[in-house]
A and B are shown apart, each in its own frame.
Chain A
Protein backbone atom coordinates (compact mmCIF):
# COMPACT_ATOMS: atom_id res chain seq x y z
CA UNK A 1 0.00 0.00 0.00
CA UNK A 2 1.20 3.49 -0.83
CA UNK A 3 1.14 6.49 1.50
CA UNK A 4 0.81 9.11 -1.21
CA UNK A 5 -0.42 9.32 -4.81
CA UNK A 6 -0.65 12.11 -7.33
CA UNK A 7 -3.88 12.51 -9.34
CA UNK A 8 -4.20 15.10 -12.08
CA UNK A 9 -7.41 16.37 -13.63
CA UNK A 10 -6.98 17.18 -17.31
CA UNK A 11 -10.58 17.91 -18.29
CA UNK A 12 -13.58 19.28 -16.43
CA UNK A 13 -16.19 19.00 -19.16
CA UNK A 14 -16.76 17.44 -22.57
CA UNK A 15 -15.51 20.42 -24.55
CA UNK A 16 -12.51 21.17 -22.34
CA UNK A 17 -9.13 22.16 -23.78
CA UNK A 18 -6.76 19.29 -24.59
CA UNK A 19 -3.40 21.01 -24.07
CA UNK A 20 -3.50 21.22 -20.23
CA UNK A 21 -4.02 17.44 -20.01
CA UNK A 22 -0.95 16.89 -22.19
CA UNK A 23 1.11 19.19 -19.95
CA UNK A 24 -0.04 17.20 -16.90
CA UNK A 25 0.78 13.84 -18.54
CA UNK A 26 4.15 15.07 -19.78
CA UNK A 27 5.44 17.05 -16.81
CA UNK A 28 3.09 16.42 -13.89
CA UNK A 29 4.79 13.28 -12.48
CA UNK A 30 1.31 11.81 -12.10
CA UNK A 31 0.20 8.39 -10.94
CA UNK A 32 -3.30 8.93 -12.29
CA UNK A 33 -4.87 11.24 -14.84
CA UNK A 34 -8.62 11.84 -14.67
CA UNK A 35 -10.60 13.33 -17.55
CA UNK A 36 -14.12 14.32 -16.44
CA UNK A 37 -16.17 14.87 -19.57
CA UNK A 38 -19.88 14.50 -18.74
CA UNK A 39 -22.33 17.26 -17.88
CA UNK A 40 -26.00 16.60 -17.09
CA UNK A 41 -27.12 16.65 -20.70
CA UNK A 42 -23.97 15.30 -22.39
CA UNK A 43 -24.98 11.66 -22.11
CA UNK A 44 -28.42 12.26 -23.66
CA UNK A 45 -26.77 13.93 -26.66
CA UNK A 46 -24.29 11.04 -26.83
CA UNK A 47 -27.15 8.57 -26.79
CA UNK A 48 -28.67 10.32 -29.80
CA UNK A 49 -25.39 9.77 -31.67
CA UNK A 50 -25.42 6.13 -30.59
CA UNK A 51 -28.96 5.67 -31.92
CA UNK A 52 -27.80 7.02 -35.31
CA UNK A 53 -24.63 4.85 -35.31
CA UNK A 54 -24.22 2.00 -32.75
CA UNK A 55 -20.40 2.31 -32.89
CA UNK A 56 -20.57 5.92 -31.63
CA UNK A 57 -21.93 7.55 -28.50
CA UNK A 58 -18.61 8.07 -26.69
CA UNK A 59 -17.03 11.51 -26.25
CA UNK A 60 -16.59 13.30 -29.62
CA UNK A 61 -13.05 14.36 -28.59
CA UNK A 62 -12.02 10.86 -27.46
CA UNK A 63 -9.87 10.15 -30.53
CA UNK A 64 -8.03 13.48 -30.37
CA UNK A 65 -7.50 13.21 -26.62
CA UNK A 66 -6.26 9.61 -26.64
CA UNK A 67 -4.06 9.98 -29.74
CA UNK A 68 -2.12 12.83 -28.15
CA UNK A 69 -2.11 11.55 -24.55
CA UNK A 70 -1.40 7.84 -25.00
CA UNK A 71 2.38 8.06 -25.67
CA UNK A 72 2.86 10.21 -22.54
CA UNK A 73 0.67 7.96 -20.40
CA UNK A 74 2.66 4.88 -21.40
CA UNK A 75 6.08 6.54 -21.14
CA UNK A 76 5.37 7.96 -17.68
CA UNK A 77 3.39 4.97 -16.41
CA UNK A 78 0.20 6.95 -15.71
CA UNK A 79 -3.18 5.27 -15.41
CA UNK A 80 -6.09 7.07 -17.02
CA UNK A 81 -9.61 7.16 -15.55
CA UNK A 82 -12.25 8.88 -17.67
CA UNK A 83 -16.00 9.00 -18.19
CA UNK A 84 -15.47 9.68 -21.91
CA UNK A 85 -17.40 6.46 -22.56
CA UNK A 86 -20.57 8.57 -22.20
CA UNK A 87 -23.43 6.55 -23.75
CA UNK A 88 -21.13 3.84 -25.13
CA UNK A 89 -18.09 2.95 -22.97
CA UNK A 90 -17.57 -0.40 -24.73
CA UNK A 91 -17.20 1.18 -28.18
CA UNK A 92 -15.06 3.90 -26.58
CA UNK A 93 -12.74 1.20 -25.18
CA UNK A 94 -12.53 -0.47 -28.60
CA UNK A 95 -11.62 2.86 -30.19
CA UNK A 96 -8.81 3.32 -27.62
CA UNK A 97 -7.49 -0.17 -28.47
CA UNK A 98 -7.59 0.72 -32.18
CA UNK A 99 -5.53 3.87 -31.52
CA UNK A 100 -3.06 1.92 -29.33
CA UNK A 101 -2.55 -0.66 -32.07
CA UNK A 102 -1.82 2.08 -34.61
CA UNK A 103 0.76 3.52 -32.23
CA UNK A 104 2.13 -0.02 -31.60
CA UNK A 105 1.41 0.30 -27.89
CA UNK A 106 0.42 -2.68 -25.74
CA UNK A 107 -2.26 -1.71 -23.29
CA UNK A 108 -5.14 -3.06 -21.22
CA UNK A 109 -8.38 -1.07 -21.27
CA UNK A 110 -11.44 -1.62 -19.07
CA UNK A 111 -14.90 -0.35 -19.93
CA UNK A 112 -17.26 0.24 -17.00
CA UNK A 113 -20.91 0.01 -18.02
CA UNK A 114 -24.25 -0.80 -16.44
CA UNK A 115 -25.30 2.78 -15.82
CA UNK A 116 -27.74 2.73 -18.73
CA UNK A 117 -31.23 1.76 -17.58
CA UNK A 118 -34.31 0.82 -19.55
CA UNK A 119 -37.85 0.84 -18.35
CA UNK A 120 -39.22 -2.51 -19.40
CA UNK A 121 -40.02 -5.89 -17.98
CA UNK A 122 -36.73 -7.45 -19.09
CA UNK A 123 -34.64 -5.10 -16.97
CA UNK A 124 -37.27 -5.29 -14.26
CA UNK A 125 -37.64 -1.54 -13.86
CA UNK A 126 -41.05 0.03 -13.91
CA UNK A 127 -42.13 3.61 -13.59
CA UNK A 128 -43.04 2.85 -9.98
CA UNK A 129 -39.39 2.14 -9.20
CA UNK A 130 -38.47 5.73 -9.91
CA UNK A 131 -38.66 8.25 -7.13
CA UNK A 132 -38.51 11.97 -7.56
CA UNK A 133 -35.21 13.46 -6.48
CA UNK A 134 -34.91 16.12 -3.81
CA UNK A 135 -37.22 19.11 -3.72
CA UNK A 136 -37.31 19.72 -7.42
CA UNK A 137 -40.41 21.29 -8.83
CA UNK A 138 -41.74 18.28 -10.67
CA UNK A 139 -43.51 15.09 -9.71
CA UNK A 140 -43.35 11.69 -11.34
CA UNK A 141 -46.78 12.39 -12.80
CA UNK A 142 -45.39 15.53 -14.40
CA UNK A 143 -42.44 13.52 -15.67
CA UNK A 144 -44.82 11.06 -17.29
CA UNK A 145 -46.69 13.94 -18.83
CA UNK A 146 -43.52 15.55 -20.08
CA UNK A 147 -42.34 12.33 -21.65
CA UNK A 148 -45.65 11.72 -23.33
CA UNK A 149 -48.97 13.45 -22.80
CA UNK A 150 -50.98 10.29 -22.21
CA UNK A 151 -48.70 7.28 -21.95
CA UNK A 152 -46.30 6.28 -19.24
CA UNK A 153 -42.55 6.07 -19.70
CA UNK A 154 -41.67 3.13 -21.93
CA UNK A 155 -38.50 1.95 -23.60
CA UNK A 156 -40.04 2.42 -27.03
CA UNK A 157 -41.14 5.96 -26.31
CA UNK A 158 -40.23 8.32 -29.13
CA UNK A 159 -39.59 11.02 -26.59
CA UNK A 160 -37.37 9.26 -24.07
CA UNK A 161 -33.70 9.47 -25.07
CA UNK A 162 -31.67 8.20 -22.16
CA UNK A 163 -31.79 7.00 -18.58
CA UNK A 164 -28.48 6.75 -16.76
CA UNK A 165 -27.72 6.04 -13.14
CA UNK A 166 -24.78 7.81 -11.52
CA UNK A 167 -22.56 4.84 -10.59
CA UNK A 168 -19.95 5.08 -7.85
CA UNK A 169 -16.54 3.53 -7.31
CA UNK A 170 -17.51 -0.15 -7.75
CA UNK A 171 -16.77 -0.74 -11.43
CA UNK A 172 -13.63 1.41 -11.42
CA UNK A 173 -12.24 -0.43 -8.37
CA UNK A 174 -12.73 -3.78 -10.09
CA UNK A 175 -10.97 -2.44 -13.20
CA UNK A 176 -8.04 -1.16 -11.13
CA UNK A 177 -7.72 -4.55 -9.45
CA UNK A 178 -7.67 -6.12 -12.93
CA UNK A 179 -4.62 -3.94 -13.74
CA UNK A 180 -6.32 -1.95 -16.49
CA UNK A 181 -4.16 1.01 -17.52
CA UNK A 182 -7.06 2.91 -19.01
CA UNK A 183 -10.54 2.85 -17.48
CA UNK A 184 -13.36 4.32 -19.50
CA UNK A 185 -16.81 4.64 -17.97
CA UNK A 186 -20.29 5.81 -18.78
CA UNK A 187 -22.15 7.85 -16.18
CA UNK A 188 -20.19 7.84 -12.92
CA UNK A 189 -20.45 10.48 -10.22
CA UNK A 190 -17.57 12.91 -10.80
CA UNK A 191 -15.86 12.58 -7.37
CA UNK A 192 -15.92 8.76 -7.68
CA UNK A 193 -13.42 9.00 -10.57
CA UNK A 194 -10.92 10.34 -8.01
CA UNK A 195 -12.05 8.39 -4.96
CA UNK A 196 -11.60 4.97 -6.61
CA UNK A 197 -7.79 5.23 -7.03
CA UNK A 198 -7.45 6.50 -3.44
CA UNK A 199 -9.30 3.45 -2.11
CA UNK A 200 -7.31 1.16 -4.39
CA UNK A 201 -3.90 2.54 -3.48
CA UNK A 202 -4.41 3.21 0.24
CA UNK A 203 -6.46 0.11 1.01
CA UNK A 204 -9.32 2.17 2.46
CA UNK A 205 -12.38 0.12 3.38
CA UNK A 206 -15.42 0.97 1.28
CA UNK A 207 -17.47 1.42 4.44
CA UNK A 208 -14.95 3.73 6.11
CA UNK A 209 -17.24 6.67 5.45
CA UNK A 210 -15.02 9.18 7.22
CA UNK A 211 -12.17 8.54 4.75
CA UNK A 212 -14.58 8.27 1.81
CA UNK A 213 -16.00 11.67 2.78
CA UNK A 214 -12.49 13.18 2.86
CA UNK A 215 -11.63 11.65 -0.52
CA UNK A 216 -14.89 12.91 -1.97
CA UNK A 217 -14.05 16.46 -0.86
CA UNK A 218 -10.74 16.18 -2.77
CA UNK A 219 -12.52 14.73 -5.81
CA UNK A 220 -15.08 17.52 -5.74
CA UNK A 221 -12.33 20.17 -5.61
CA UNK A 222 -10.59 18.55 -8.59
CA UNK A 223 -13.46 17.51 -10.86
CA UNK A 224 -13.84 20.79 -12.76
CA UNK A 225 -10.14 20.89 -13.66
CA UNK A 226 -9.26 24.54 -14.46
CA UNK A 227 -11.99 25.88 -12.19
CA UNK A 228 -9.67 25.49 -9.19
CA UNK A 229 -6.62 26.90 -10.95
CA UNK A 230 -7.96 30.29 -12.02
CA UNK A 231 -10.45 29.34 -14.71
CA UNK A 232 -13.99 30.68 -14.25
CA UNK A 233 -12.44 32.81 -11.51
CA UNK A 234 -10.46 35.58 -13.17
CA UNK A 235 -11.62 39.18 -12.81
CA UNK A 236 -8.99 41.67 -13.97
CA UNK A 237 -9.94 44.20 -11.28
CA UNK A 238 -10.40 42.13 -8.11
CA UNK A 239 -9.09 38.65 -8.94
CA UNK A 240 -6.31 38.99 -11.51
CA UNK A 241 -4.96 35.75 -12.99
CA UNK A 242 -1.64 35.70 -14.79
CA UNK A 243 -0.87 33.88 -18.01
CA UNK A 244 -4.50 32.87 -18.49
CA UNK A 245 -3.82 31.67 -22.04
CA UNK A 246 -1.63 28.85 -20.66
CA UNK A 247 -3.96 27.98 -17.77
CA UNK A 248 -2.63 24.89 -16.05
CA UNK A 249 -4.96 22.18 -14.80
CA UNK A 250 -4.56 20.91 -11.22
CA UNK A 251 -3.04 17.86 -9.62
CA UNK A 252 -3.53 16.65 -6.05
CA UNK A 253 -0.97 14.92 -3.88
CA UNK A 254 -3.33 12.76 -1.86
CA UNK A 255 -2.19 11.17 1.41
CA UNK A 256 -3.43 7.97 3.04
CA UNK A 257 -5.02 9.95 5.90
CA UNK A 258 -7.40 11.63 3.44
CA UNK A 259 -5.66 14.99 3.24
CA UNK A 260 -4.22 16.48 0.07
CA UNK A 261 -2.15 19.28 -1.40
CA UNK A 262 -3.56 20.75 -4.60
CA UNK A 263 -1.13 22.35 -7.02
CA UNK A 264 -0.27 22.60 -10.73
CA UNK A 265 2.70 22.14 -13.04
CA UNK A 266 5.34 24.83 -12.59
CA UNK A 267 5.45 27.37 -15.39
CA UNK A 268 1.79 26.98 -16.36
CA UNK A 269 -0.61 29.91 -16.13
CA UNK A 270 -3.38 30.38 -13.64
CA UNK A 271 -3.47 30.51 -9.87
CA UNK A 272 -4.32 28.16 -7.00
CA UNK A 273 -5.02 29.90 -3.71
CA UNK A 274 -7.57 30.07 -0.88
CA UNK A 275 -10.02 31.99 -3.07
CA UNK A 276 -9.99 29.53 -5.97
CA UNK A 277 -10.28 26.58 -3.57
CA UNK A 278 -13.19 28.09 -1.63
CA UNK A 279 -15.11 28.96 -4.81
CA UNK A 280 -14.71 25.42 -6.07
CA UNK A 281 -15.49 23.76 -2.73
CA UNK A 282 -18.93 25.43 -2.73
CA UNK A 283 -19.57 25.05 -6.47
CA UNK A 284 -22.87 23.28 -7.25
CA UNK A 285 -23.29 22.21 -3.62
CA UNK A 286 -26.92 22.20 -2.55
CA UNK A 287 -26.27 21.10 1.04
CA UNK A 288 -22.75 21.33 2.50
CA UNK A 289 -23.78 19.16 5.48
CA UNK A 290 -24.87 16.34 3.22
CA UNK A 291 -23.21 16.10 -0.18
CA UNK A 292 -24.71 12.99 -1.79
CA UNK A 293 -22.66 10.70 -4.00
CA UNK A 294 -23.22 6.98 -4.70
CA UNK A 295 -20.30 6.20 -2.35
CA UNK A 296 -20.92 8.34 0.70
CA UNK A 297 -22.85 11.28 2.07
CA UNK A 298 -20.01 13.73 2.60
CA UNK A 299 -19.86 16.62 5.07
CA UNK A 300 -18.06 19.75 3.83
CA UNK A 301 -18.55 21.80 6.99
CA UNK A 302 -15.36 20.58 8.66
CA UNK A 303 -13.08 21.04 5.63
CA UNK A 304 -10.02 23.20 6.28
CA UNK A 305 -8.10 24.94 3.52
CA UNK A 306 -4.65 26.48 3.93
CA UNK A 307 -2.29 28.18 1.49
CA UNK A 308 1.09 26.60 2.20
CA UNK A 309 3.11 27.98 -0.71
CA UNK A 310 2.57 29.76 -4.00
CA UNK A 311 -0.05 27.80 -5.97
CA UNK A 312 -0.34 25.17 -3.22
CA UNK A 313 -3.40 24.67 -1.07
CA UNK A 314 -3.61 22.00 1.63
CA UNK A 315 -6.99 20.34 2.17
CA UNK A 316 -7.72 18.61 5.46
CA UNK A 317 -10.88 17.53 7.26
CA UNK A 318 -14.25 16.69 5.86
CA UNK A 319 -16.13 13.58 6.86
CA UNK A 320 -18.92 11.32 5.76
CA UNK A 321 -21.68 8.92 6.65
CA UNK A 322 -23.41 5.84 5.23
CA UNK A 323 -23.92 5.96 1.45
CA UNK A 324 -27.46 6.52 0.11
CA UNK A 325 -29.69 3.54 -0.61
CA UNK A 326 -30.64 4.79 -4.06
CA UNK A 327 -28.81 5.88 -7.18
CA UNK A 328 -29.58 9.20 -8.79
CA UNK A 329 -30.76 8.72 -12.37
CA UNK A 330 -30.76 11.34 -15.12
CA UNK A 331 -33.60 10.98 -17.60
CA UNK A 332 -33.11 12.67 -20.96
CA UNK A 333 -36.16 13.42 -23.12
CA UNK A 334 -37.01 15.40 -26.22
CA UNK A 335 -38.47 18.54 -24.72
CA UNK A 336 -39.16 20.91 -27.62
CA UNK A 337 -37.65 22.72 -30.57
CA UNK A 338 -36.16 26.09 -29.80
CA UNK A 339 -36.26 28.78 -32.45
CA UNK A 340 -34.13 31.88 -32.10
CA UNK A 341 -33.38 35.02 -34.05
CA UNK A 342 -31.13 37.99 -33.38
CA UNK A 343 -30.70 41.43 -34.96
CA UNK A 344 -28.63 44.49 -34.00
CA UNK A 345 -29.53 48.18 -33.75
CA UNK A 346 -26.91 50.89 -33.20
CA UNK A 347 -26.55 54.65 -32.94
CA UNK A 348 -29.14 57.19 -31.80
CA UNK A 349 -32.39 55.55 -30.58
CA UNK A 350 -30.77 52.11 -30.76
CA UNK A 351 -32.78 50.85 -27.79
CA UNK A 352 -36.04 52.49 -28.88
CA UNK A 353 -35.85 50.84 -32.31
CA UNK A 354 -34.83 47.48 -30.83
CA UNK A 355 -37.80 47.76 -28.45
CA UNK A 356 -40.15 48.56 -31.36
CA UNK A 357 -38.78 45.53 -33.19
CA UNK A 358 -39.27 43.30 -30.12
CA UNK A 359 -42.83 44.52 -29.57
CA UNK A 360 -43.63 44.03 -33.26
CA UNK A 361 -42.29 40.47 -33.29
CA UNK A 362 -44.20 39.64 -30.14
CA UNK A 363 -47.48 40.86 -31.68
CA UNK A 364 -46.78 38.89 -34.86
CA UNK A 365 -45.97 35.62 -33.07
CA UNK A 366 -47.88 35.54 -29.80
CA UNK A 367 -50.94 33.74 -31.16
CA UNK A 368 -48.76 30.84 -32.36
CA UNK A 369 -46.34 30.36 -29.45
CA UNK A 370 -47.06 29.83 -25.78
CA UNK A 371 -43.68 30.91 -24.47
CA UNK A 372 -41.73 33.67 -26.17
CA UNK A 373 -38.68 35.34 -24.67
CA UNK A 374 -37.57 38.79 -25.85
CA UNK A 375 -34.14 39.95 -24.69
CA UNK A 376 -32.25 43.16 -25.36
CA UNK A 377 -28.64 42.03 -25.28
CA UNK A 378 -26.49 44.68 -23.64
CA UNK A 379 -29.40 45.79 -21.43
CA UNK A 380 -31.37 43.01 -19.81
CA UNK A 381 -30.58 39.64 -21.36
CA UNK A 382 -29.06 38.04 -18.25
CA UNK A 383 -30.69 39.77 -15.28
CA UNK A 384 -34.14 40.78 -16.56
CA UNK A 385 -35.79 44.20 -16.49
CA UNK A 386 -34.44 45.13 -13.06
CA UNK A 387 -31.27 46.23 -14.82
CA UNK A 388 -32.95 48.69 -17.17
CA UNK A 389 -32.78 52.25 -15.94
CA UNK A 390 -34.36 55.16 -17.78
CA UNK A 391 -31.64 57.47 -16.49
CA UNK A 392 -28.82 55.56 -18.19
CA UNK A 393 -26.71 57.33 -20.81
CA UNK A 394 -27.65 56.70 -24.46
CA UNK A 395 -26.99 53.09 -25.30
CA UNK A 396 -24.52 52.73 -28.20
CA UNK A 397 -25.86 49.41 -29.47
CA UNK A 398 -28.48 46.81 -28.65
CA UNK A 399 -28.96 43.30 -29.95
CA UNK A 400 -32.51 42.01 -29.95
CA UNK A 401 -32.94 38.32 -29.25
CA UNK A 402 -36.20 36.43 -29.66
CA UNK A 403 -36.53 32.83 -28.50
CA UNK A 404 -39.55 30.54 -28.32
CA UNK A 405 -40.49 26.92 -27.70
CA UNK A 406 -42.13 24.99 -30.53
CA UNK A 407 -43.32 21.44 -31.16
CA UNK A 408 -41.70 21.03 -34.59
CA UNK A 409 -38.58 22.15 -36.41
CA UNK A 410 -40.71 24.04 -38.96
CA UNK A 411 -42.56 25.98 -36.26
CA UNK A 412 -39.31 26.83 -34.49
CA UNK A 413 -37.86 28.15 -37.75
CA UNK A 414 -40.65 30.77 -37.85
CA UNK A 415 -38.94 32.68 -35.04
CA UNK A 416 -35.77 33.36 -36.99
CA UNK A 417 -37.78 34.00 -40.15
CA UNK A 418 -39.81 36.70 -38.45
CA UNK A 419 -36.67 38.33 -37.07
CA UNK A 420 -35.07 38.25 -40.52
CA UNK A 421 -38.19 39.81 -42.01
CA UNK A 422 -37.56 42.86 -39.80
CA UNK A 423 -35.10 43.91 -42.53
CA UNK A 424 -37.97 45.15 -44.70
CA UNK A 425 -40.89 44.98 -42.26
CA UNK A 426 -39.45 46.49 -39.07
CA UNK A 427 -37.71 49.53 -37.59
CA UNK A 428 -34.94 51.43 -39.36
CA UNK A 429 -31.33 50.35 -39.37
CA UNK A 430 -31.49 46.78 -38.11
CA UNK A 431 -28.61 44.53 -39.20
CA UNK A 432 -26.64 41.34 -38.60
CA UNK A 433 -29.48 38.83 -38.40
CA UNK A 434 -28.67 35.30 -37.19
CA UNK A 435 -31.20 32.48 -37.01
CA UNK A 436 -31.03 29.26 -35.00
CA UNK A 437 -33.15 26.14 -34.60
CA UNK A 438 -32.19 23.55 -32.01
CA UNK A 439 -33.81 20.46 -30.62
CA UNK A 440 -33.77 20.79 -26.84
CA UNK A 441 -33.11 17.75 -24.68
CA UNK A 442 -34.58 18.10 -21.23
CA UNK A 443 -33.16 16.36 -18.18
CA UNK A 444 -35.03 15.37 -15.07
CA UNK A 445 -33.51 13.57 -12.09
CA UNK A 446 -35.09 10.62 -10.29
CA UNK A 447 -33.94 7.97 -7.82
CA UNK A 448 -33.83 4.22 -8.31
CA UNK A 449 -32.99 1.44 -5.82
CA UNK A 450 -29.39 0.22 -5.89
CA UNK A 451 -30.39 -3.39 -6.49
CA UNK A 452 -31.93 -2.42 -9.85
CA UNK A 453 -28.52 -1.32 -11.15
CA UNK A 454 -25.58 -3.63 -11.87
CA UNK A 455 -22.19 -2.07 -12.69
CA UNK A 456 -20.04 -4.32 -14.90
CA UNK A 457 -16.60 -4.23 -16.53
CA UNK A 458 -15.29 -5.50 -19.87
CA UNK A 459 -11.55 -5.87 -20.53
CA UNK A 460 -9.88 -5.21 -23.91
CA UNK A 461 -6.21 -5.62 -24.87
CA UNK A 462 -4.20 -4.24 -27.77
Chain B
Protein backbone atom coordinates (compact mmCIF):
# COMPACT_ATOMS: atom_id res chain seq x y z
CA UNK B 1 0.00 0.00 0.00
CA UNK B 2 1.49 3.37 -0.90
CA UNK B 3 0.85 6.64 0.84
CA UNK B 4 -1.77 7.79 -1.66
CA UNK B 5 -3.92 4.75 -0.90
CA UNK B 6 -4.04 5.78 2.73
CA UNK B 7 -5.51 9.20 1.94
CA UNK B 8 -9.27 9.73 1.50
CA UNK B 9 -10.57 10.73 -1.96
CA UNK B 10 -10.28 14.43 -2.75
CA UNK B 11 -13.02 16.53 -1.17
CA UNK B 12 -14.09 13.83 1.34
CA UNK B 13 -12.95 14.36 4.89
CA UNK B 14 -11.84 11.01 6.26
CA UNK B 15 -12.62 10.01 9.81
CA UNK B 16 -9.63 9.72 12.04
CA UNK B 17 -9.19 7.58 15.12
CA UNK B 18 -8.91 10.88 16.99
CA UNK B 19 -12.62 11.50 16.34
CA UNK B 20 -13.78 8.40 18.21
CA UNK B 21 -10.96 7.25 20.48
CA UNK B 22 -8.16 8.33 22.78
CA UNK B 23 -4.72 6.93 23.49
CA UNK B 24 -1.80 7.11 25.92
CA UNK B 25 1.77 6.11 25.11
CA UNK B 26 4.06 4.43 27.60
CA UNK B 27 7.66 3.23 27.38
CA UNK B 28 9.72 0.29 28.67
CA UNK B 29 13.25 0.19 27.33
CA UNK B 30 12.93 0.18 23.54
CA UNK B 31 9.24 -0.79 23.67
CA UNK B 32 6.38 1.63 23.17
CA UNK B 33 2.94 0.76 24.53
CA UNK B 34 -0.02 2.47 22.86
CA UNK B 35 -3.53 2.13 24.21
CA UNK B 36 -6.56 2.75 22.00
CA UNK B 37 -9.74 3.50 23.90
CA UNK B 38 -13.05 4.38 22.21
CA UNK B 39 -15.04 7.19 23.84
CA UNK B 40 -18.13 5.12 23.15
CA UNK B 41 -17.71 1.49 24.22
CA UNK B 42 -19.96 0.33 21.40
CA UNK B 43 -17.18 1.31 18.95
CA UNK B 44 -14.84 -1.29 20.45
CA UNK B 45 -15.78 -4.09 18.01
CA UNK B 46 -15.33 -1.80 15.04
CA UNK B 47 -11.87 -0.80 16.28
CA UNK B 48 -10.97 -4.48 16.65
CA UNK B 49 -11.92 -5.03 13.02
CA UNK B 50 -10.37 -1.92 11.52
CA UNK B 51 -7.23 -1.21 13.53
CA UNK B 52 -5.29 -4.32 12.65
CA UNK B 53 -1.63 -4.98 13.44
CA UNK B 54 -0.83 -4.67 9.73
CA UNK B 55 -2.47 -1.27 9.52
CA UNK B 56 -0.65 0.00 12.61
CA UNK B 57 2.66 -1.36 11.30
CA UNK B 58 2.15 0.48 8.02
CA UNK B 59 1.08 3.65 9.80
CA UNK B 60 4.27 3.67 11.88
CA UNK B 61 6.67 2.56 9.15
CA UNK B 62 9.96 4.40 9.55
CA UNK B 63 9.32 4.88 13.28
CA UNK B 64 8.56 1.43 14.70
CA UNK B 65 10.76 -1.26 13.22
CA UNK B 66 9.97 -4.26 15.44
CA UNK B 67 7.14 -6.66 16.04
CA UNK B 68 3.77 -5.32 17.19
CA UNK B 69 1.47 -7.33 19.47
CA UNK B 70 -2.18 -6.32 19.83
CA UNK B 71 -4.00 -7.18 23.06
CA UNK B 72 -7.78 -7.10 23.02
CA UNK B 73 -9.27 -6.13 26.37
CA UNK B 74 -13.07 -6.54 26.22
CA UNK B 75 -13.27 -5.98 29.99
CA UNK B 76 -12.51 -2.28 29.44
CA UNK B 77 -13.43 -2.17 25.71
CA UNK B 78 -9.88 -1.17 24.78
CA UNK B 79 -6.96 -2.25 22.64
CA UNK B 80 -3.29 -2.20 23.59
CA UNK B 81 -0.48 -2.20 21.04
CA UNK B 82 2.92 -3.28 22.34
CA UNK B 83 5.56 -2.20 19.84
CA UNK B 84 9.13 -3.54 19.84
CA UNK B 85 12.08 -1.45 18.58
CA UNK B 86 9.97 1.69 18.67
CA UNK B 87 12.19 4.17 20.46
CA UNK B 88 15.40 4.41 18.41
CA UNK B 89 17.35 2.14 20.76
CA UNK B 90 15.48 2.96 23.94
CA UNK B 91 14.39 5.88 26.02
CA UNK B 92 17.74 6.38 27.76
CA UNK B 93 20.06 6.46 24.74
CA UNK B 94 17.93 7.71 21.85
CA UNK B 95 18.93 10.93 20.03
CA UNK B 96 15.28 11.74 19.29
CA UNK B 97 13.73 14.84 20.86
CA UNK B 98 10.83 12.85 22.30
CA UNK B 99 12.94 10.03 23.70
CA UNK B 100 9.98 8.41 25.49
CA UNK B 101 7.84 8.42 22.36
CA UNK B 102 5.14 10.24 24.32
CA UNK B 103 3.80 11.83 21.12
CA UNK B 104 3.30 8.46 19.40
CA UNK B 105 -0.18 8.23 20.94
CA UNK B 106 -1.31 11.17 18.82
CA UNK B 107 0.43 9.69 15.81
CA UNK B 108 -1.80 6.62 16.25
CA UNK B 109 -4.88 8.87 16.52
CA UNK B 110 -3.98 10.45 13.15
CA UNK B 111 -4.79 7.15 11.46
CA UNK B 112 -7.73 7.35 9.07
CA UNK B 113 -10.38 4.63 9.23
Contact = CB atoms under 8 A, between A and B. Distances in A.
Interface of A: 40-41, 134-137, 232-233, 235, 238-239, 275, 278-289, 300-305, 317, 335-336, 338, 371, 373, 375, 377, 381-386, 401, 403-405, 440-445
A443 B29 CA distance: 8
A165 B103 CA distance: 30
Contact of A303 (B28, B30, B39, B75): B75
28 contacts: A136-B29, A137-B30, A238-B22, A238-B39, A278-B35, A279-B24, A281-B76, A282-B24, A282-B26, A282-B35, A282-B37, A284-B28, A285-B33, A286-B33, A287-B71, A287-B82, A288-B71, A377-B97, A381-B97, A382-B98, A382-B103, A383-B63, A384-B63, A386-B63, A401-B97, A403-B95, A440-B92, A440-B93
A282 B22 CA distance: 12
Interface of B: 18, 22-24, 26-31, 33, 35, 37, 39, 61-63, 66, 71, 73, 75-76, 78, 80, 82, 84-85, 90-93, 95-98, 103, 107
B76 A283 contact: no
Contacts of B18: 238
Contacts of A371: 95
Contacts of B63: 383-384, 386
A442 B93 contact: yes
Given A373-B95, A405-B95, A278 B76 contact: yes
B58 to A, nearest CB: 11
Q: Label chain B's interface by main secondary structure.
A: loop
Given A137-B30, A278-B37, A383-B107, A285 B93 contact: no
A278 B17 CA distance: 17
The 4 closest A-B pairs by CB, nearest first: A284-B26, A282-B35, A373-B95, A279-B24
Given A280-B24, A284-B27, 14 more contacts: A135-B84, A275-B22, A275-B39, A278-B37, A279-B35, A279-B37, A282-B35, A282-B37, A282-B73, A284-B33, A288-B73, A335-B92, A377-B97, A441-B92
B26 to A, nearest CB: 3
A280 B33 CA distance: 12
A305 B75 CA distance: 9
B97 A282 contact: no
B29 A282 contact: no
Contacts of A40: 91-92
A134 B28 CA distance: 11
B63 to A, nearest CB: 6
A232 B97 contact: no
B92 A285 contact: no
A73 B93 CA distance: 39
Contacts of B80: 282, 285, 288
B76 A303 contact: yes
Scoring B62, B93, B95 by chain A CB atoms within 10 A of each residue's CB, the highest score goes to: B95
B108 to A, nearest CB: 11
B28 A286 contact: yes
A305 B73 CA distance: 12
A239 B22 contact: yes
Contacts of B85: 137
A147 to B, nearest CB: 13
A14 B24 CA distance: 21
A428 B56 CA distance: 41
A138 to B, nearest CB: 9
Contacts of B98: 381-382
A362 B44 CA distance: 46
B75 A317 contact: yes
Contacts of B31: 136, 286
Given A232-B24, A382-B103, A278 B78 contact: yes
Nearest to A44: B92
B96 A373 contact: yes
A383 B24 contact: no
Contacts of A136: 29-31
Given A282-B33, A288-B80, A383-B63, A301 B107 contact: no
A49 to B, nearest CB: 18
A40 B26 CA distance: 13
A282 B35 CA distance: 6
B65 to A, nearest CB: 10
A123 to B, nearest CB: 25
B60 to A, nearest CB: 9
A338 B29 CA distance: 19
Contacts of A440: 92-93
Contacts of A281: 76
A281 B76 CA distance: 10
A136 B91 CA distance: 13
Contacts of A300: 73
Nearest to A377: B97
A226 B103 CA distance: 18
A281 B75 CA distance: 12
A235 B39 CA distance: 13
Contacts of B33: 282-286
Given A286-B33, A445-B29, A301 B95 contact: no
